[in-house]
Structure 1
Amino acid sequence: MIFAALIGFGLSGMALQAGSAAAETTSHALSLNGTPKYGPDFTHLDYANPDAPKGGEVRMMAFGSFDNLNPFILRGQAAAGSGLVFQTLTSATGDEPVTEYGLVAESITVADDRSWVAFTLRPQARFNDGKPITPEDVIWSFETLREKGHPIYRTYYADVTKAEKTGDRTVRFSFRSTDNAELPVIMGQLPVLPRHVFEARDFGSTTLQPLVGSGPYKVVNVQPGRSITYERVKDWWAKDLPINRGRYNFDRLRFDYYRDLEVAFEAFKAGAYDFRLENSSKNWVTGYDVPAVREGHIVKEELPHQDPQGMQAFVFNIRRPIFQDRKVREAINYLFDYEWTRTNLSYGLYKRTKSYFANTELASTGLPGPAELKILEPYRGRIPEEVFTKPYEPPSTDGSGNIRQNLRTALGLFKEAGWELKNNKLVDARTSQPMRFEILLVQADMERIVQPFVRNLERAGIEASIRVVDSAQYQNRTDQFDYDMIISRFPQSLSPGNEQRDFWNSKRADLPGSQNAIGIKDPVVDELVEKLIQAHDRETLIATTRALDRVLLWNWYVIPHWHDSVYRVAYWNRFGHPAVAPKYGLGFPESWWIDPAKDARLASTPRRTAP
């Protein structure tokens, strides 16, 4: 959610209920999907082991660098794991998509017309310096995040008109209208910060000084840009809450930073860190043939999941004049040979992404049905006609590497857009300026994917270059939209809502730090997003999301990549994890633990990689 990843997912679109009773009823949970899975007397989550042993240190890898321990602002690069220091009013679970349970708040009350939501704080809720969490802290957190926090908070809280203390432990948020079904849930995701700690500092400035929160971990060691270590709070006030029982089992979590992913991979096999989420198909298929794997000291495991996959893609920055013509973007789509890439570089893994809402029922397929047509018809003539007449399919090839037909189609589209091939250079027919652009990367290992694409671009006369920069420079450039093309991902939830404004809304296109990486300024898209947010039942939400999906796809704003429905993980064989895995999310490190017997066996065996 928004707290876990700072720029995260929203939940919207269904009739809101508090627990299983009427919306005015005070409850332990908010569900946008009817009755919560876990009742008020539940003892622990199904994917947590309440008897899991506590203890031990886990080492993990992070990429790039960091210069900030405040994950709620735009400036700087937040340290890996920094969200573990803080808590929110409510918490989502990993086995139901649209429900939030009380965390700092023990109960939630929603007005029957959804005009306000109130949270009553737990009497035992404490910050980790011992001071109680008060309604004043909640109100201060809301106001500070909206005024001085990351720009995403201004979007999320734009429709909140007032935050007020209505009881000794109760805070109420009032809303501008009753059309935004997800607002009660969004307010539950509010990080609660200690006013007494932050008031004396500039909230918008980066800091490497450990901050006080109310979460399960605290920062105990910082080596700027190199590593950060967290220690479990032994007397954590929330450790016995049912939603936390059996979770946060490791005594210490250490993140070591690497600037080269190949170096990081070799370091893992040498035993420098314990757990790895493998995102490289090449590594997964060819890189683990080492004694530690063959002898069972390193475990490779595929964990199925039902996570929405969103859209990973080459992203056009349409703020750049050369990408403002839809035909140009479509033409360039024909020059990416996904089938060859999958066979030769991805070892046959992954599925082609064909939706901004991949791996969910929200993804558009085939031609629009009646419910979608009812939404789309008023925009006929203002959106691509293909929305109504063709099922979306990205250009494909036979995988041989011969893209002659695609090249011919691309050159035809370029010609329609006013570009022509002269002396093997694609030039603007009006100005004779060549088409050239830069593909900005932060991960050097993606060059192997991008280089064949660049060669195909060159065959069309396009001067494309690759530039790899460090993570700090990449963050700064992407925050300021200083790029021609990047590889990016638009993450999604099972119930999209307010966060769609940050992805696609015209007002976000020029706001530094927004997720409108494409630079979309389209009134139709703006209207579809608002219709999506205001959807009051699941069927309307699905139809509106699919309609938005079609409009985005047929505008050729991106060149889709791929996705999968399994997590591929490798880890040194010292862990236990629950037999039941969460449907949504990996569950590491929150629900895993160190198995004493496995850890002892591994400790007696040198970690090595030599054949």
Structure 2
Amino acid sequence: MDIQQSIRGLLGGALVLIATFSHPVLAEYTSHGISLYGEPKYTENFSNFDYANPDAPKQGELVMAEMGSFDSLHQFIDLGKKPRGLFWLYDRLTVRGHDKNEIKTRYGWLAEKMTIADDYSSVIYFLRKEAKFSDGYPVTAEDVAYSLNLYRESGLSNIKSRFKMVKSVEVIDPLTVKINFGGDGSRLQILNSGNLPVLPKHIWQHKDFTQPSLDIPIGSGPYKVISVDPGRGIVYELRDDYWGKNLPVNKGKYNFKNIKVEYFRDRNAAVQALKTNNVNYIAETNLLRWNKLYQGDVFDSGTVVKDKINYDAPSFVTVMVFNLRQAKFADRRTREALVTAFDFEWLNKKAFNNQYTRATSLFNNSFLAAEGLPTAQEKAILIPLSAQLPEQVLSSEFTLPSTDGSGRNRKNLLTAQTLLKEAGWKVKHNKLVHSVTGEVMTINFLLPSPVMKPAIGAYIQTLKKLGISSNITIKTGTEYYKLLMQRQFDMTPSQYKVRIPPNTELRSSLKSEFAGVASSYNLSGIQDPAIDNLVEGLVQSDSYVDTQAYGRALDRVLKWNYYYLPLWARNFQLVAYQNYIKKPLQAPKYGYEVEFWWDERSK
């Protein structure tokens, strides 16, 4: 059954009531930008984004500290570990706006304008004649068509997914290219098609796209690579001849003359380098480290700024994923028991000084997060799938178990014991054993940093009370990444930040077809036909109503299946930098972008 057709038929009245959220069907039209809902905020002749400083000086350098290492400069395939910043080498057809008043809008970048078919079956991009690659070759429609076909055949799994609905690409003339979607076209597909990093055909047609490489990439973007020390560092230089420096979308952007990315094996060493001004920027993701490591005279004096930047957008959500490829996690009640045993309130109080909030959804702090009981719109989507769903999805409100934070979690542990017994587990000689298979329940936690060990260590002590023995494997950098891609873990932390609306990357994170792809984002190995159906419906939704209904329906199914253990959520970013690094007064909606910052030191 076509579920999307079903909801549209059942919700005709509701759609009429909120038609203002959905873009009306128009005749074929040409525009400088496209918005998923309504019209773009910025008109064709706008000067710059509100969150940019057009007077920012082009000077100085940003020296970023990153953890781990890298072994490839080819960022568009799954193989290899890539350094940060390679995206600065490439322009896309369009660029996303991050204004606080826009949910999802893209403006022309390589493309000066676009013509969109009234039924969204195709889009024609008109390239800017001045666009050139860093080696002087012009960017042409042939490059666009070549790049898109290359990504569809051999690209990263999330990029493949982005262009899955493309039927064909036509080169109309050297500066005009048409992308055809046929009957699968939608407004979201048009938006996604602009997010195409364009590669130089004259370079890649002589190389093997499927293999990692340390060759210096050629792109049309604002920066070029001038130095590489494999695994340790990379240096980008702002191109004096960058063709797009005066475009409205780039005014006040790309302000550092040089950007150095230096890799450290140890976070303590990176923070020490910041204190001594050997690096001048570190982005932090761990609140424990933030509170403990980023201390001292340079912070107290203001020489180094310790900045907690709040933003109004979906949360960064940290969860512990179950490796569903392991038979011990096959029963939903087993996973529910392990979620029930986790005492977030105690951990937040003892380890984080109550600075985190509990993650209740992968879509935390967004209009896609399910609340209360399913609405009529959600039921219209879920009822046709009911045979594949836990019965509670349609009848009950989902809530995570909670505690008083005292550390006495007896009530939840008794519930967990009951669930484990129902799933076929029993305690024998102080060990949890499956009554049918005889498997002893042990859990290997794979962690990317020793900083998380105390938090997981407390959870392990709780699991012991249930007869579950556990161990922790800590690997950093490429070693952690290798084990992650090989799926050598029982449980491991993962961080999510959903795009609004969800982009095609959601497919590679949740759909069955990616469960067996070693390098995909489907770390859990979820293989659920109901999830597949809901993800497709969500990705293809082209109205606010459909997007919200599919998102909340998907959220409910994910929650009630207990595919992950929610840990914490944050709506802030942590970054420390030298005080001569400056940023605009207004931040983008989805958090800061360092591309808009600058070095105030004179030349």
Q: TM-score, normalised by structure 2?
A: 0.93
| TM superposition shift of 1:563 | 1.5
Does the aligned pair in 2 maintain the 1:18–1:29 contact within 8 Å? no
Paired residue for 2:414, among 390, 408, 426? Answer: 408
- State the match for 1:524 in structure 2: 530
Amino acid at match of 1:393: T
Q: Does 1:421 align with 2:421?
A: no
Partner-residue secondary structure (3-state), 2:30: coil
Once the two structures are superposed, residues 315-334 of structure 1 have per-residue CA deviations (whole angstroms, 9 ceiling, x without a partner) of: 00111100010000000112
Match of 1:55 among 59, 77, 97: 59
1:67 aligns with 2:71: yes
- Give the distance between the partners of 2:330 and 2:87, measured in 1 at CA: 38
Q: How far off is 1:497 after superposition?
A: 4.2
Q: Which amino acid aligns with 2:97?
A: T
Q: Aligned-pair distance for 1:179?
A: 5.2
C-alpha deviation, 1:278, in angstroms: 2.8
Q: Residues 23, 315 of structure 1: CA spacing in aligned structure 2 closer, same or farther, 3 A cutoff? A: farther
Return the alpha-carbon distance in structure 1 between the equivalents of residues 19 and 180 of structure 2.
18
Correspondent of 2:299 among 293, 306, 315: 293
Secondary structure in 1 matching 2:451: helix
Distance 1:542 1:405 in 2: 35
Whether the 8 Å contact between 1:354 and 1:392 is mirrored in structure 2 is no
Q: Aligned residue for 2:599?
A: 594
Shift of 1:532: 1.9
1:232 is matched with 238
- Counterpart of 1:82 in structure 2 is 86
- One-letter identity of the residue aligned with 1:86: Y
Determine which of 450, 453, 465 is the counterpart of 1:447: 453
What is the aligned partner in structure 1 of residue 444 from structure 2? 438
What is the alpha-carbon distance in structure 2 between the residues aligned to residue 451 and residue 168 of structure 1?
60
Displacement after TM superposition at 1:579 (Å):
1.5
Match of 1:562 among 565, 568, 592: 568
Quick one: structure 1 residues 403 and 431, their matched pair in 2 at CA, closer, same or farther if it must change by over 3 Å?
same
Looking at structure 2, the residues matched to 571 and 21 of structure 1 have their Cα atoms a distance apart, in angstroms, of 47
- Per the alignment, residue 31 of structure 2 pairs with 27
The code of the aligned residue for 2:28 comes to E
Q: Please, which of 349, 369, 378 is the counterpart of residue 372 of structure 1? A: 378
Structure richer in helix, relative to its length = 2
Counterpart-to-counterpart distance in 1, 2:436 and 2:22: 61
Q: Aligned equivalents of 1:18 and 1:384: distance in 2?
A: 32
Distance, in Å, in 2 between the alignment partners of 1:152 and 1:321 is 27
CA displacement at 1:39 relative to structure 2: 0.4
Q: Residue 119 of structure 2 aligns with which residue? A: 113
In structure 2, what is the equivalent of residue 344 of structure 1? 350
1:158 aligned onto 2:167: no
Contact between 2:119 and 2:185, CA under 8 Å: does it hold in 1? Answer: no
Moved more, 133-142 or 167-176: 167-176
Name the SS for the 1:272 alignment partner: coil
SS state at 1:230 partner: strand
Matched residue type, 1:38: Y
For residues 210 and 396 of structure 1, what CA distance do their matches in structure 2 show?
52
Unpaired stretches in structure 2, ≥5 consecutive residues: 1-14
Residue from 582, 585, 593 that aligns with 1:579: 585
Taking structure 1 as reference, are residues 377 and 23 closer, same or farther at Cα in structure 2, changes over 3 Å only?
A: same
Question: Of the candidates 177, 180, 198, which is equivalent to residue 183 of structure 2?
Answer: 177
Q: How far, CA to CA, are the matches of 2:397 and 2:23 in structure 1?
A: 40
CA deviations 1:550-582 (Å, max 9, x no partner) are 000110000001112222222111022211111
1:470 to 466, 476, 480: 476
Question: What corresponds to 2:207 in structure 1?
Answer: 201
Give the superposition deviation at 1:167: 2.6
Q: Which residue of 1 aligns with 2:11?
A: none
The yes-or-no answer on 1:544 pairing with 2:553 is: no
Letter in 2 for 1:324: A
Listed as ranges, the matches of 1:384-399 within 5 Å are: 384-399=390-405
Q: Are the aligned partners of 2:131 and 2:139 in contact in 1 as well (CA < 8 Å)? A: yes
Bigger CA drift: 425-434 or 55-64? Answer: 425-434
Structure 1 residues 89-104: aligned runs within 5 Å: 89-95=93-99, 96-104=102-110
Rounded Cα–Cα distance in structure 2 between residues aligned with 1:146 and 1:531: 21
Question: How big is the shift at 1:519?
Answer: 1.4
Percent identity between matched residues is 39
Quick one: distance in 1 between partners of 2:152 and 2:386?
37
SS class of match (1:88): coil
* 1:533 aligns to 2:542 (yes or no): no
Structure 1 residues 171 and 151: alpha-carbon distance in aligned structure 2, compared to 1, 3 A threshold: same
Greater CA deviation, 85-94 or 258-267?
258-267
Taking structure 1 as the reference length, what is the TM-score of the superposition?
0.92
The answer to whether the 8 Å contact 2:142/2:174 transfers is no
Paired with 1:330 and 1:473, the residues of 2 have a C-alpha distance of 30
Distance 2:118 2:283 in 1: 44
1:376-399 deviation per Cα after TM superposition (whole angstroms, max 9, x unaligned): 222334311222333222222221
Partner residue, 2:8: none
- Which amino acid is 2:301 matched to? E
Q: Which runs of 4+ in 1 moved over 3 A?
A: 13-23, 178-181, 283-289
Match of 2:516 in 1: 510
